[in-house]
Amino acid sequence: MIPLEVARPYDLEASSTGFCTVVVPHCHAGERVVVTLLPGATVSGRVVRAKDGSAVANAKVQLPTRPHELRPASEGAEQTTDADGRFRFSDVDEGEYWVQVFPLADAPPDWIEADVKRGAELDLAITVGAGSVVSGRVVDATTGEPIAGAEVGEGWTFHRFVKTDWNGEFEFKGFAEAGYDDIAVRAKGYGRIARTVRNANGPVAERIEVKLARVRVLRGRVVDSSGAPVDGAYVAAPAYILGARTPNSEDAHQLDWPSTFSAADGRYALDVRPDMQHTLYVRKRGFGVASYEVPGRELAEAEFVLPDVVLEAGAIVRGVVVDERKQPLADQVVSLHGRNGDHEAWASSTTNQAAAGYISERTTRTDDLGRFAFADVAAGTYALLHLRADSHDREPVPITVTAGEKPTPITLVAPTGTMIHGVVLGPEGEPVSANVSIDRVDGAPGVTSADVRTAADGSFTASGLAAGSYVCTAWPMSLFGVKPGEPRYSMAKSEPIDAGGAAITIRVARAELVVGRVLDANGKPVVDCTVCVFDGRDEQTFAITDREGRFEVWLDATRLYELVANCREIGPTDGGGFKWSGPSQATAQVRVPNVRPGGPELEIRLP
């Protein structure tokens, strides 16, 4: 028995000599948990250079678990390769992991998915390339003076970074050949910035200049409902802007998240990036989580004083998940969406929507009796959602939390009876590893009811679906990369089927590559042109041209397709997908009919 505070999630960790450590996330007071300890697995490997097979010593190797609803990807266990390029992780628990390799001067490879079984031994042969060289200079945005000691990182994580010299110069050797398109730059007293250095895994920019601006300061105070100062409250000022990721420009995704803790007098000060509008986020155990939009006039002041943040006692939102027979469902994922009711007391929520998801959503799991709970909920309007891993069909349940009142327990009903199941097979009847998306025939465009991954035998199951007719689309994992000698398969769609019917078989064909280049009327490459692929009247997929106007897409080798090149720009939506941003310069289209995969490189000229 372990005494715990009610309604708070805890990670339960069990370990013993000779066994792997097991972590059970989001356990709750009153739950009965059974943990089985078994001998762990071994994940080992050797890292060598592709050019000559030489060992890569002193490379950092991390083994984080792959993320899911309840647990984001963490750094995980870490080792450094020895003189022979070898590493070894022992007593690894069963689960889904990434193997991440960060050499000192070579290019990091793509993250490797490792599905680990207890007691198994997994040995990996990992090759790395030379990568690219990203060079440039970091200067003060106002004075143009060089900034010495600034850190220039690959991507936004700063797993690997170099520092600028006395003249602000830097040279990053071994920049990733794929997967990373941005650098992030930070320096003491300056706002962090991201810069896109290449497009669609193409060549990096020859040289880049990064201008850092001096930080501004947000100041304020945190108090309780009686006006007494609150000590030790976590205070952050997130801001997030989705950029178009144009090479060698400042239009990359921009993130700012300075944080601190309130002092004994409740006061705090945050150094924030000067050109971004922020949201203030405050939390402390026992109080309702609060967030406020910072007024836009913060951008005009070097030091901006915010009103007092008044934290009220937090409420507990609790309930149970049951099936249609009112039987409790354990290990279900439940999320709570919403913010304190006075979130817009200082300013309207119009400028920082991209950061909202990070501070307005919480997730937990049901215990052995189907119960769930969220603590420290501020007064406001929220929505509860039951999240099934194999279904996106869900109805939010609205709830209102009133200060000083205990919310009524909520019952979420999760039907389990309606499902679609089947198998994905290749041309020889072999099982194919694929993601299968399941979409309502009469549903809104782009709204998917389920996404599931096939098992080792190619089978898949999606349950909890509403009654109706669906189309299943198989996206073979080989579309996203294969090892030498492995086959590639094309995507394929089923005919419309009714949920709850017999198992279906989706046949995928071998894929061949369609490559091409899009040029304007003067023969110059068209960057970020969208090339749509049609089979009859249905759009199958699309590709986006790189800095040289090139594109490639893998398609069914037995069929003919029509390609449509459109020079309208495509940009990201707040939800992380894509939308047409409208004609930015011209709207001309070029159609190329009867394209057979595996043929010669295409040249598409826009008028």
Profile the chain (607 residues) by mean pLDDT over runs of 10 residues.
81 83 83 85 94 95 78 70 95 87 92 84 93 94 96 89 96 86 92 82 79 96 97 94 53 83 98 92 96 90 95 94 90 92 86 70 91 94 85 83 90 82 94 92 76 90 86 90 80 90 93 89 82 76 81 89 71 34 48 89 87
> pLDDT at position 584, please?
38
Question: What is the Cα–Cα distance from 513 to 511, expressed in whole angstroms?
Answer: 7
Q: What is the CATH number of domain 40-128?
A: 2.60.40.10
518, 526 contact by CB (below 8 A): yes
Q: What are the sequence ranges of the domains in the chain?
A: 40-128, 132-212, 315-413, 419-507, 511-605
User: Which phi-psi region, left, alpha or beta, contains residue 91 (left: φ > 0; alpha: ψ -120 to 50)?
Assistant: left
User: Which letter, b or e, does each residue of 317-356 get, where b requires 16 or more Cβ atoms within 10 Å of its Cβ?
Assistant: bbbbbbbeeeebbeebbbbbbbbbbebeeebeeebbebbb
- Pick among 1.10.4080.10, 2.60.40.10, 2.40.37.10, 3.30.1330.10: CATH of 315-413: 2.60.40.10
Q: Token pair 């830097």 is at which residue? A: 170
> pLDDT at position 229, please?
98
3-state secondary structure 307-343: CCEEECECEEEEEEEECCCCCECCCCEEEEEECCCCC
> pLDDT at position 442, please?
83
**Under CATH, what is the fold of the domain 511-605?**
Immunoglobulin-like (2.60.40)
> pLDDT at position 213, please?
95
Sequence length of the chain is 607
- β-sheet bridge partners, residue 146: 139
Intrachain domains 40-128 and 315-413 with the same fold: yes
- Pick among 2.60.40.420, 2.60.40.180, 3.40.630.30, 2.30.30.240: CATH of 419-507: 2.60.40.180
Helix (H) or strand (E) holding 358: helix 356-359
Question: What is the Cα–Cα distance from 212 to 186, expressed in whole angstroms?
Answer: 8
Q: Which of 535, 541, 488, 493 is nearest to 513 (CA)?
A: 488
For the domain 132-212, what is the CATH superfamily, name and number? Carboxypeptidase-like, regulatory domain (2.60.40.1120)
Question: What is the Cα–Cα distance from 461 to 452, expressed in whole angstroms?
Answer: 7
